[in-house]
Chains A and B, each alone.
Chain A
Amino acid sequence: MTEIPESLLRRSAEAKAKALGVPVEQVLAEMKGEGPPIEVPASDEGAVSPLSDEPSPGASAGQADAASADAADEQVEEAVSPRSEEQAEEAVSPRSEEQAEEAVSPRSEEQAEEAVPPAAVATIVEDEQPLAEVDGSGNDKLAAVVSPRPSVPPAGTPEGVRTARLLTVVKARAIQTVKAEPTDKVNTWPHLMLMEFGALLAITGLLVIMSVIIFSPLLDPANVNSTPNPSKAPWYFLGLQELLSYFDPQIAGVTVPTITGIIGFMMIPFVDKNPSTRPSDRKFAILLYSMFMVGAGTLTLIGVLFRGRGFNFTYPWKDGIFFDDLKDWVDFE
C-alpha cells in the first residue's frame, strides 16, 4: 500500500486548515484517522467538493485518478508549453504577466508531479466548476478539500488496481485566467525581421561609404611636452568642456555631469509621475528634454566649430575649423 508522504499530508492539511479556519494539527490528526472529523461550517466558509463525498470510492476513484492525472499532466504540459509562454508574452498588463509567470513556476509543476499515481494523490485542475460556487468566500481563494477517509483502499478492491482518493482540489486560477488582451499583432517573421534587416543594410552601407571617403586622423606621435593648441576633448565631451570654460570647474566638471547626467537621468521615470504617454499631455516634460537636447547640441557645436586657439571663440569661416577628428575631411586653415 502506498503511503502518503508526510510532507504532502502536511501541505494539504495546511491548505484545508486555511480554508476552514481551524488549526493545522487538528486537520492533520483527522487526515491520519487519529482525530475526530472536523465539523465543516456552512457553505459560506469552507469549500466542500462534491467529489469528497463520493459514495462509491472503488470504481469512480479509479476514474477520478485517471482523470485527475490527465488534468495534472495537462497542467504541466500547459505550464511549460510554448503556447502559454506566448500568452505570457502577450499579456500586457503587469498583473496578468505575473500570473503567467506563476503558471511556469516550479510550484505548479511540483504540484502536478505530486499528482502522479505512486503518491496516490490527485490534483484536479478546477475551472469554472461547481466548486467555485460552493466556495462562497471568493473566487481567488484556494479551495482545498481533504476527504475524511484514511488512506486505506476500500474493501474489495482487486489486487493491482490502484485506488486514489481526492486530497486537494486546486483551483488553477493562475493558469486559466491568463487571457491575452486583444492587441493588433503581426508575426515577427517576416514583418519585423525584414525591417531590421533593411535597417542593418542601410547602416552598413552608410558606414562603409563614410569609411571610404573619410579617413581617420593620425596626428604626430603623442608628446607629453608639446600641448597642441587648442586641446579638445572628444566631441561628445565638448559640451562639458565648453561649460568648463564658463564656470568654475567645481561646478561644470562635477556637478553638471554627475547630477544631470547620471543621477538626474536615472531618476527621470521616478520623478515624472504623469502616467500619460500622449505628447499633448506631456508638454512640460517634452519641453524640458528638448531644451536639454538643444542646449547640449549648441554647446557641442560651439565646442566643435567656434573654439580656436586657446579655446577662444573664433568664427569657422574666418580662422578655419579646429576639429581634428575630421582633420582629413575638413580643410584646415
Chain B
Amino acid sequence: MADGDGKTGLKDKIKETNEKLWGSQVVEAILRPGSPFKKGYSDSPRNRSYVVMNNVLYHLHPVKVKRHGVKLSYTLCLGGLSFFLFILLTITGIFLMFYYTPSAEAAYTDIQALSTNVAFGTLVRNLHRWGAHLMVLSVFLHMSRVFYHGAYKPPREFNWVIGVLLLFLTLFLSFSGYLLPWDQLALWAVTVGTNMAGFIPVVGGQVKFALLGSLEVSGATLLRFYVLHVLAFPFILVLFLAVHFWRVRKDGGISGPL
C-alpha cells in the first residue's frame, strides 16, 4: 500500500482483516481467556494452565498430569481411544440412521440402498462396523492394561467395577447392532447369541423372550434391538462414562508409575 505495490496492499488488507476478525467481539466472546487461538496468546506456564482451566476441557483433564502418565507406553491411550471410537461411532451411526428403517420388510433393502445409492454410504457403513469391532478390542485391551498395572487397587476399586459395566455395555452395543442389517449373518448370529441367554437357569426363557420380544428372532426383535442400539445402550454408556472419567480424576489421576 505504502509503495503502491498491489501485492503488499492485499497482504496488509488480509492482515488487517485477520486482526479485526480475531479481535472482534464475537471471537472474544467465544474464546475464553487463555485460549491458544486467542489474539496475543503466548506460550507461558500460566497460559498453558489456562488452556485447560478456562476451557470445557477442564471437565475431562486436570491442569497438570503426572509425567509418566503422558508417556505413550503407560496407558497406550487405550481408554482415550475407546472413548474416541465411541464418538466416531456416534457420528457415523447418526448418518446411518438417516437411511435405515428398523422393520423386517425394509431393513435389508435400506442397507443395500445405502451401499449403492448413497454417497459415501458404503464407506460410512464400513467405518461404523470396523469402528465397533475396534472399540470392543480397545476396551478389552484397556482393561488388560489396567489389570497389568494393578490400577484397580485402592482407591480405584470402584472405577474398575464401573469399567466392567462399560465393557459389558460395549459388548451389548456391538451385539445389538449386529442384528440391524437383517441378513442371514445378523439373524443367525443373534439367534446363537440369544440362545445362550436362554440357558440361564429358571429365568432363561423369560430373559430370552424379553430380549427378542417374541419366541424367535423376528421383526419385533429388530425393533427392540434397534431402540436398544441407538438409544438405550448409548445413553447408559454415556452415564457410566461420565462417572468413569470423574473417578479417574477424583481417585488421584492416572495410577502411579509401577
B141-180 CB mask vs A (1 if < 8 Å, else 0) is: 0001001111111111100110010011001001100100
Query: In the complex, what residue of chain B is closest to A251 when comparing beta carbons?
Result: B199
Q: Contact check, A222 vs B182: say whether CB atoms are below 8 A apart.
A: yes
Q: Contact check, B64 vs A188: say whether CB atoms are below 8 A apart.
A: yes
Query: CB < 8 Å: which of A185, A200, A278, A279 contacts B84?
Result: A200
Kindly specify which of A57-65, A87-95, A114-122 makes contact with the partner chain: A87-95
Q: If A193-B61, A233-B192, A268-B160 touch, does A215 touch B122 (CB 8 Å cutoff)?
A: yes
A102 at the interface (CB under 8 A from B): no
B129 at the interface (CB under 8 A from A): yes
Chain B residues touching A, range? 35 or more
In angstroms, how far is the closest chain A Cβ from the Cβ of B32? 13
Interface size on A, residues (CB 8 A): 85
Bound CA–CA A253/B48 (angstroms): 53
Query: CB < 8 Å: which of A89, A250, A325 contacts B199?
Result: A250
Bound CA–CA A268/B167 (angstroms): 15
In angstroms, how far is the closest chain B Cβ from the Cβ of A183? 6
A161 at the interface (CB under 8 A from B): no
A-to-B contact residues, CB < 8 Å: 82, 86, 89-94, 97, 183-193, 195-196, 199-200, 203-204, 206-208, 210-212, 214-224, 226-228, 231-237, 240-241, 244, 249-250, 252-254, 257-258, 261-262, 265-266, 268-270, 272, 274-279, 282, 285-286, 289, 293, 324-325, 327
Q: Contact check, A203 vs B175: say whether CB atoms are below 8 A apart.
A: no
Q: Contact check, A269 vs B156: say whether CB atoms are below 8 A apart.
A: yes
Q: Contact check, B108 vs A207: say whether CB atoms are below 8 A apart.
A: no
B25 at the interface (CB under 8 A from A): no
Residues on the B chain within 8 Å of A232, using CB: 188-189, 192
Residues on the A chain within 8 Å of B253, using CB: 89, 92
Q: Contact check, B189 vs A231: say whether CB atoms are below 8 A apart.
A: yes
Residues on the A chain within 8 Å of B250, using CB: 97
B70 at the interface (CB under 8 A from A): yes
Q: Contact check, A234 vs B175: say whether CB atoms are below 8 A apart.
A: yes
Q: Contact check, B249 vs A89: say whether CB atoms are below 8 A apart.
A: yes
In angstroms, how far is the closest chain A Cβ from the Cβ of B156? 7
Residues on the A chain within 8 Å of B85, using CB: 203, 207
Query: CB < 8 Å: which of A97, A244, A270, A289 contacts B196?
Result: A244
Residues on the A chain within 8 Å of B84, using CB: 199-200, 203
A188-B51, A192-B69, A207-B130 given; 16 more Cβ-contact pairs under 8 Å: A94-B154, A184-B67, A189-B52, A199-B81, A212-B126, A216-B122, A216-B181, A218-B112, A222-B183, A222-B184, A233-B189, A262-B168, A268-B152, A277-B149, A277-B153, A289-B148
Q: Contact check, B191 vs A231: say whether CB atoms are below 8 A apart.
A: yes
Q: Contact check, A219 vs B183: say whether CB atoms are below 8 A apart.
A: yes
